[in-house]
A and B are shown apart, each in its own frame.
Chain A
Amino acid sequence: MTIRNGQDARHSALSIGPTDPGRRRFVLGAAASGLVAGLVGGLSRWQPASAADNSRGLTHLTGTDFALTIGQLPVQITDRERLAVAVNGSLPAPVLHWQEGDTVTVRVTNQLRETTSIHWHGILVPTGMDGVPGLSFPGIAPGETFTYQFPVRQSGTYWYHSHSGFQEQLGLYGALVIHPKEPEPVTADREYVVLLSDWTDESPARVLAKLKKQSDYYNFNQPTLGDLFRDARREGLSAALAERSMWGEMRMNPTDLADVSGYTYTYLMNGQAPAGNWTGLFRPGERVRLRFINAAAMSFFDVRIPGLRMTVVAADGQPIKPVDVEEFRIAVAETFDVLVTPERDEAYTIFAQSMDRTGFARGTLAPREGMTAVVPRLDKPVALTMADMGHDDMSHAGHDMADMPGMDMGEATVPAAVTHAPTETGPGVDMLAMNPTSRLNDPGVGLRDNGRRVLTYADLHSTFPDPDGREPTETIELHLTGHMERYIWSFNGVKASDAEPIRLRYGNRVRFVLVNDSMMTHPIHLHGMWSDLEDEQGNFQVRKHTISVKPGERLTYRVSADALGRWAYHCHLMMHMETGMFREVFVDE
């Protein structure tokens, strides 16, 4: 049994003999060149040979006992030095390697001047170990140490992050790799964590304050007079005006793809800005497993590796039937495991452009350190269409919009196709989807018909049948609502502070129906229990922990209420959660 580090050629010392499961301790993955440790796929027990400098890469820790210290860390991501919130002096936080079946103990010490917490995203834990201040526990006070301890009941790629204030935006996020008890169904010659995130030099509270004052503050892609002239030349003046008039009537902005953009964000790959060029090494012909994690606060990424076909083998940590794609969109908080086999002795760019096309994270897969490949240009931003707004006929979008009664502004009556709660007519809701549609096979705005094979939710199928097997006996329908200009976000028009918990009876199988009445894509995450996405016929399709819902979309998933206690349920866009798109789910006997 051998282990290879990312740059194994120069680190034969990392090839070690049989491992001693009892002596797994920690690993600092990257050596002087700053590369992340690559692990042999299928190898469940492993240990390091050396601790080395990891200034450019990720720190790795492994074992059953972990000590994490949360504190401030001066960082310089742009040209200015700022204080990040880091774990063990590392941004991103160390990659934790767990073993399925182990009981792990994580002692978390808070060296900040404010309360902190760590939430294990997608991990099945007792409610007291879930790390949400106010629901699971009071939080970790300054100077205190909190001990998390729980059995690890699953395997795959996950992540962890703070659930306190804006600490996640400030750097408190890290990868979680759980090695399976059974041999890996997927084998690879080496593997890397590819953790994507967004960084701003501004204080996150200030970012939110700006959004509250001017919600399009960060959007410099809004339609201009010049765009109108261009559209008029292409489609004729009346069509161009009709389209403007449609959006104008709704008082909506079709370029509202991200609340916070590259205007303030630097997009990071494994903590590296694009110029830092995080690099993962390979030998031509090797099969490399990439564990993609979107740990951003507010940014969706569209990921591709020009020249390489990507085989997606796991979603949100759970194995799926392999799908070959050229590109995938990863919502905030999702994870995808991807296999690539670079055959040629050349570099490949891992390109992750933000959904609004205002920037990208970038890294390189290369046979040797210091190599680069061409970095693609950002795609042109694509505006939302009437289909995105809950109109059901996508083929018409962009043509005769003026004739479409596609939108309801809270004044017209709503057809029987969808029922909106009375609470959705208040001042905090700026639009309702008239005809929300099931669009699992839609890759989403900006990815349609782009000439590449793009992953959609319709491609995701668990390798296992519905683990519960029972039909849901209860349905909970929630609408994703908000008011962009007031910058208020909610479920059913009710913010967290005004809402009662969602109560689930222990042992029940519940169907959640989500209807997105807003213009944004929302990654919805339920703590403590799986979210089993259903296909359009209501059959079990794929097990996930975060379900991304596109504008105007309706989708359903099943939840087995098999975890007692109080759980968080929320949009994983940080500013949406902070402004009200959050619920407590209370599972009770």
Chain B
Amino acid sequence: MNKFIGATLCLLAGQHQSAAVAQDIGHHAHMDDDPLVWMVLVDELEWQNASPDDALAWDVSAWLGHDTGRALFRSEGEMTRGDAADGRAELLWSKPVAAWWDLVGGLREDFGTGPGQTYGLIGVQGTAPYRFHIEADLFGGERGQVGTRLESKYEILVTNRLIAEPRLELQAFGKDDADLGIGSGLSQLELGLRLRYEIRREFAPYVGVEWQGKFGDTADFAGDAGESARDTRFVAGLRCWF
């Protein structure tokens, strides 16, 4: 597994542009055409009327770097009263490899049910034709587990400020892990629709609905734990970035 992570990082870190190329314009003021840029995007920070208890859920990313590559942090999860947070956090390097696609790789840490899990991750993120935002990851590591995650979002402009965003996310795993409540195959599917109003580009309250389903052994494990395998939730939250 360390090999896997190492290889991923090497792949991402390699191929840096030779610095010597730029020397001809040396100290030229306009040479700095690749400034250090950063962004923190709280894409979802929301209340969900989950059963049995309401939940606070988040989907956050942040990046820092240059046109040639960026450090990327992504995290998604939820908290219910009395329970530990359940979710994942990723620390990645992101490198543009094609016009619309970045290769990402690094570490993924899962927390929540059962012991924390550390995975190596490699994936792509970018914009597919018709402007679907895509994140697709492969990860593997601890306890010999491998998994994949696919997320897609799409923006529908009702007006230039009122924006509907359907979202789909699914995860699948290679094998059963009862400790973690994970079954092999498609384990989890989330379908959401959120309607936000951009008071400013950076500040948009929203409401929406999300359906979550667990499948296969994952659903059974959930049933054993007294959780339902299907849940429809109303959500209300804030999208913001800076």
Q: With A213-B241, A410-B99, A498-B22 known to touch, is A225 a contact of B157 (CB < 8 Å)?
A: yes
Contacts of A214 in B (CB 8 A): 201, 241
Interchain CB contact (< 8 A) of A225 among B26, B32, B34, B156: B156
Asked if A135 and B25 sit within 8 Å, CB to CB, the answer is yes
Asked if A217 and B201 sit within 8 Å, CB to CB, the answer is yes
Asked if B97 and A427 sit within 8 Å, CB to CB, the answer is yes
Expressed in whole angstroms, the Cα–Cα distance for A429 and B96 within the complex equals 11
Asked if A134 and B160 sit within 8 Å, CB to CB, the answer is no
Interchain CB contact (< 8 A) of A410 among B37, B98, B156, B241: B98
Q: Is B184 an interface residue (CB 8 A)?
A: no
Taken residue by residue from 64 to 94, chain B's Cβ proximity to chain A (1 for < 8 Å, 0 otherwise) reads as: 0001000000000000000000000000000
Q: With A495-B33, A580-B33 known to touch, is A501 a contact of B99 (CB < 8 Å)?
A: no
Taken residue by residue from 7 to 21, chain B's Cβ proximity to chain A (1 for < 8 Å, 0 otherwise) reads as: 000000000010001
Contacts of A431 in B (CB 8 A): 99
Within 8 A of B (CB), among A241-257: 245, 248-251
Contacts of B35 in A (CB 8 A): 208, 212
Q: Is A409 an interface residue (CB 8 A)?
A: yes
Q: Is A63 an interface residue (CB 8 A)?
A: no
Taken residue by residue from 101 to 140, chain B's Cβ proximity to chain A (1 for < 8 Å, 0 otherwise) reads as: 1100000000000000000000000010111000000000
Expressed in whole angstroms, the Cα–Cα distance for A262 and B29 within the complex equals 29
Asked if B24 and A501 sit within 8 Å, CB to CB, the answer is yes
Total count of chain A residues near the partner, CB < 8 A: 57
Interchain CB contact (< 8 A) of A483 among B29, B39, B99, B160: B99
Q: With A222-B157, A226-B159, A584-B28 known to touch, is A249 a contact of B99 (CB < 8 Å)?
A: no
Min C-beta distance of A176 to chain B, whole Å = 22
Q: Is A92 an interface residue (CB 8 A)?
A: no
Q: Is A164 an interface residue (CB 8 A)?
A: yes
Expressed in whole angstroms, the Cα–Cα distance for A409 and B159 within the complex equals 28
Asked if A496 and B25 sit within 8 Å, CB to CB, the answer is yes
Within 8 A of B (CB), among A402-444: 409-410, 426-431
- Chain B's interface size range is 35 or more
Min C-beta distance of B199 to chain A, whole Å = 13
Expressed in whole angstroms, the Cα–Cα distance for A431 and B102 within the complex equals 17
Expressed in whole angstroms, the Cα–Cα distance for A220 and B27 within the complex equals 38
Expressed in whole angstroms, the Cα–Cα distance for A426 and B15 within the complex equals 13
Contacts of B99 in A (CB 8 A): 409-410, 426-431, 483
Asked if B98 and A427 sit within 8 Å, CB to CB, the answer is yes
Asked if B34 and A495 sit within 8 Å, CB to CB, the answer is yes
Min C-beta distance of A7 to chain B, whole Å = 42
Asked if B159 and A582 sit within 8 Å, CB to CB, the answer is no
Contacts of B67 in A (CB 8 A): 428, 486, 488, 495
Asked if B37 and A501 sit within 8 Å, CB to CB, the answer is no
Closest chain A residue to B41, Cβ basis: A213
Min C-beta distance of A485 to chain B, whole Å = 7
Closest chain A residue to B39, Cβ basis: A213
Expressed in whole angstroms, the Cα–Cα distance for A250 and B130 within the complex equals 7
Q: Is B211 an interface residue (CB 8 A)?
A: no
Contacts of A208 in B (CB 8 A): 35
Interchain CB contact (< 8 A) of B33 among A248, A483, A486, A578: A578
Asked if A249 and B28 sit within 8 Å, CB to CB, the answer is no
Interchain CB contact (< 8 A) of B129 among A251, A500, A578: A251
Contacts of A16 in B (CB 8 A): none
Q: Is A473 an interface residue (CB 8 A)?
A: no
Min C-beta distance of A237 to chain B, whole Å = 16
Min C-beta distance of A48 to chain B, whole Å = 37
Q: With A213-B241, A245-B130, A249-B129 known to touch, is A224 a contact of B157 (CB < 8 Å)?
A: yes
Expressed in whole angstroms, the Cα–Cα distance for A500 and B28 within the complex equals 13
Min C-beta distance of A428 to chain B, whole Å = 7
Closest chain B residue to A582, Cβ basis: B30
Asked if A584 and B25 sit within 8 Å, CB to CB, the answer is yes
Q: Which of B26, B32, B33 has the most CB of A within 10 A?
A: B33
Asked if A251 and B131 sit within 8 Å, CB to CB, the answer is yes
Q: Is A456 an interface residue (CB 8 A)?
A: no
Asked if A486 and B160 sit within 8 Å, CB to CB, the answer is no
Expressed in whole angstroms, the Cα–Cα distance for A226 and B32 within the complex equals 42
Q: Is A579 an interface residue (CB 8 A)?
A: yes
Asked if A134 and B25 sit within 8 Å, CB to CB, the answer is yes
Q: Is A33 an interface residue (CB 8 A)?
A: no
Interchain CB contact (< 8 A) of A134 among B27, B37, B158: B27
Expressed in whole angstroms, the Cα–Cα distance for A214 and B239 within the complex equals 14
Contacts of A223 in B (CB 8 A): 157
Expressed in whole angstroms, the Cα–Cα distance for A220 and B17 within the complex equals 36
Asked if A498 and B158 sit within 8 Å, CB to CB, the answer is no
Q: Is A186 an interface residue (CB 8 A)?
A: no
Contacts of B100 in A (CB 8 A): 251, 430
Asked if B158 and A224 sit within 8 Å, CB to CB, the answer is yes
Q: With A217-B201, A410-B98, A429-B99 known to touch, is A163 a contact of B158 (CB < 8 Å)?
A: no
Interchain CB contact (< 8 A) of B32 among A138, A209, A497: A497
Min C-beta distance of A75 to chain B, whole Å = 24
Asked if B24 and A500 sit within 8 Å, CB to CB, the answer is yes
Expressed in whole angstroms, the Cα–Cα distance for A501 and B84 within the complex equals 58
Min C-beta distance of B144 to chain A, whole Å = 35
Asked if A212 and B33 sit within 8 Å, CB to CB, the answer is no
Q: Is A570 an interface residue (CB 8 A)?
A: yes
Q: Contacts A250-B129, A498-B22 given; 17 further ones with Cβ under 8 A?
A: A134-B26, A134-B28, A139-B29, A208-B35, A217-B201, A221-B160, A248-B131, A251-B100, A251-B130, A483-B99, A486-B67, A495-B33, A496-B28, A497-B33, A498-B17, A570-B30, A582-B30
- 8 closest cross-chain pairs (CB), A and B: A134-B28, A427-B96, A580-B33, A248-B130, A220-B160, A133-B29, A224-B157, A213-B39
Question: 28 A–B contact pairs at CB < 8 A?
Answer: A132-B29, A133-B29, A134-B25, A134-B29, A210-B201, A213-B37, A221-B160, A223-B157, A224-B158, A225-B158, A248-B130, A249-B130, A427-B96, A427-B97, A428-B96, A430-B99, A430-B100, A486-B96, A496-B28, A497-B22, A497-B25, A498-B22, A500-B24, A501-B24, A501-B25, A580-B34, A582-B30, A582-B33
Point out residues on B near A: beta carbons under 8 Å: 17, 21-22, 24-35, 37, 39, 67, 96-102, 127, 129-131, 156-161, 201, 241
